[in-house]
Amino acid sequence: MAVTRHADAVAPVRSSGPVSIWLTRHASTSIGALGRLVRHPFSSLMIVLVIAVTLALPAAIHLVVKNARAISGSWDNALDFSVFLNRGMSESDAEGLGRLIGQRADVASVTFVSAAEALDDFKEQSGFGEALDQLPDNPLPHTLVVRPSPGNTAASMVLLQEELANLPETEHVQVDTGWIQRFHAILDIVRQAIAIGAVLLGVAIVVIIGNTIRLDIENRREEIEVTKLIGASNAFVRRPFLWTGFWYGLFGGGLALALVRYGLFLLEGPVARLAGLYQSKVAMTAMTPSEAGAIVGIGVLLGLVGSWFTAARHMRRIEPR
């Protein structure tokens, strides 16, 4: 006898795999943790705001240092050496010496400024043109403006200055790079201070989130005892608090990112006006996508660390009676 199979026969339902069950449970727990934050908007907002400000402070200072380095990197003229030659030297000999110096590997370029050109520039910039016309002869010497190559180190710059100064044709070498070196040294100190401050502020975020999770655990103590009484493990009970720390860190990092960007927006106008006074164009350097992602990622990481340590510590102390 043939067996007839109906088209509308119901196929047996296969149970979901362990991965899908794990994802479903975490999705449900994350939504539940988010719902608890929404049900307490004021307290949740205060914690998120504290986390955001704590993250935004080192991020903002980092951007200030980053922009300062970018601006100082454009001060190439400050690294030029002005080589004042002996007054008795002819113009052709000075040009030949400039070509000879320009062949050095540690020199990028050499610009020759004749004594006549230097006097004309001085007349134009100083406003004493009529007084200078009364001089019997030109008191200014020929000058070579030597620009070192970008590959020079601090030691090679000092060596180049000494060698130029020891030339028999050289009267004096003028260079003023000390203030730039001091400026970069200050920036390095600020960067180190940012790193130390960021670590301390990160610890503060962990403590804040940990204390918040501890209070939440105490408020739900009876619920945890009942859950453990029916056989739930510490990992299962700890899961909602981990998601709470995750949401705190995520929202705090996102708000910190918004605060930093808004701060840059407020600074664009004053920086543009300052640059206009110096007849230059300086634009604030915004955060890169990796820096923005790092702020949010650090917030999430600190939220998870603070909630995990606190929850793991208190879960062992809460047992059904």
Please report, for the domain that includes residue 134, its CATH number: 3.30.70.3040
| Residue 221 predicted with pLDDT over 70 | yes
**pLDDT of amino acid 7:** 41
* Same domain? 143 vs 263: no
Q: Which of 112, 143, 174 marks a domain boundary?
A: 174
Contacts of 48 (CB under 8 A, 6+ apart): 248, 251, 252, 255
Q: Residue 255 — pLDDT band, cuts 50, 70, 90?
A: very high
Q: Residue 149 — pLDDT band, cuts 50, 70, 90?
A: confident
Residue 19 lies in a domain: no
**pLDDT of amino acid 253:** 92
| Beta pairing, strands 170-174 & 143-148 | unpaired
User: Which amino acid is residue 238, in one-letter code?
Assistant: R
Q: Residue 249 — pLDDT band, cuts 50, 70, 90?
A: very high
Nearest to 33 by CA among 172, 216, 274, 265: 216
* Same domain? 155 vs 276: no
Residue 227 lies in a domain: yes
| Residue 72 predicted with pLDDT over 90 | no
Q: Higher model confidence: residue 167 or residue 317?
A: 167
141, 97 contact by CB (below 8 A): no
- The 10 Å Cβ neighbour count of residue 190 is 16
**pLDDT of amino acid 4:** 44
Least confident stretch, 145-154, 179-188, 221-230: 179-188
* Same domain? 37 vs 123: no
* Same domain? 70 vs 88: no
- Provide φ and ψ at 107, rounded to 5°: -120, 130
What rounded mean pLDDT belongs to the chain? Answer: 79
The residue-averaged pLDDT of 304-309 equals 90
* Same domain? 299 vs 191: yes
* Same domain? 230 vs 281: yes
| Residue 2 predicted with pLDDT over 50 | no
* Same domain? 34 vs 163: no
| Residue 3 predicted with pLDDT over 50 | no
**pLDDT of amino acid 1:** 41
SS3 269: helix
* Same domain? 166 vs 311: no
Axis crossing angle, helix 289-315 with helix 234-277, rounded to the nearest 10: 150
* Same domain? 218 vs 123: no
| Residue 278 predicted with pLDDT over 70 | no
* Same domain? 163 vs 258: no
Residue 12 lies in a domain: no
Q: Give the range of the structural domain holding residue 104, as residue numbers without chain letter.
A: 81-174
* Same domain? 133 vs 267: no
Q: Which of 144, 174, 204 marks a domain boundary?
A: 174
0.75 surpassed by pTM: no
Q: Residue 52 — pLDDT band, cuts 50, 70, 90?
A: very high
**pLDDT of amino acid 154:** 67
217, 310 contact by CB (below 8 A): yes
| Residue 189 predicted with pLDDT over 80 | yes
Domain total for the chain? 2
* Same domain? 267 vs 208: yes
Token code pair at residue 30: 């994350």
SS3 165: helix
| Residue 84 predicted with pLDDT over 50 | yes
Q: Which of 143, 174, 205 marks a domain boundary?
A: 174
Residue 320 lies in a domain: no
* Helix spans in the chain (H): 18-39, 41-72, 91-102, 115-126, 129-132, 154-165, 178-219, 221-229, 234-277, 289-315
Residue 9 lies in a domain: no
The residue-averaged pLDDT of 150-162 equals 77
**pLDDT of amino acid 10:** 41
Nearest to 51 by CA among 245, 292, 261, 263: 245
